Amino acid sequence: MAWIPDKGDVVRLTILEFWNGAISEGLYAWEIDDTVDAPSGPWDNPWETLLSSRIQENTMHWATKNIAEAYPGSLLVRICFVYGGDIAAVCGDLSVSKRSPK
């Protein structure tokens, strides 16, 4: 039996050099369909993070196109941190909330 992710599920996730107590610098999200055939732009880095150590650099465009075709209408998301570290994901929905200290 094959598992087909719902649109709300995270379908790909990569976390690089993430440390406890990390301070987030920013959260960015793009419609995945807008990033594949577009010229180079700020979405290059999340694709590189997402596919880090998984593919050869010369196959990046092929891999991004395959993911975008498999999950049309999804979001390419990047969270970057002040002192390094990066999170990249492909997901159907994105919800962000802020917790107040108790």
**pLDDT band of 51, cuts 50, 70, 90:** confident
> Is the per-residue pLDDT at 86 higher than 70?
yes
**Per mean pLDDT, which of 17-21, 53-57, 90-94 is the most reliable?**
90-94
User: Which candidate, 75, 78, 27, 71, places its Cα nearest to that of 52?
Assistant: 78
> How many Cα atoms occupy the beta-carbon half-sphere of 12 within 13 Å?
24
Q: List own/partner pairs for 96-101 with CB under 8 A and 24 or more apart.
A: 96/27
Average pLDDT value for residue range 10-39: 78
Q: What residue segments make up the domains of the chain, in order of their start?
A: 25-91
Angle at 35 between CA 83 and CA 42, to 5 degrees: 30
Q: Which residue has the higher pLDDT, 47 or 85?
A: 47
> Is the per-residue pLDDT at 10 higher than 50?
yes
Q: Which residue has the higher pLDDT, 8 or 66?
A: 66
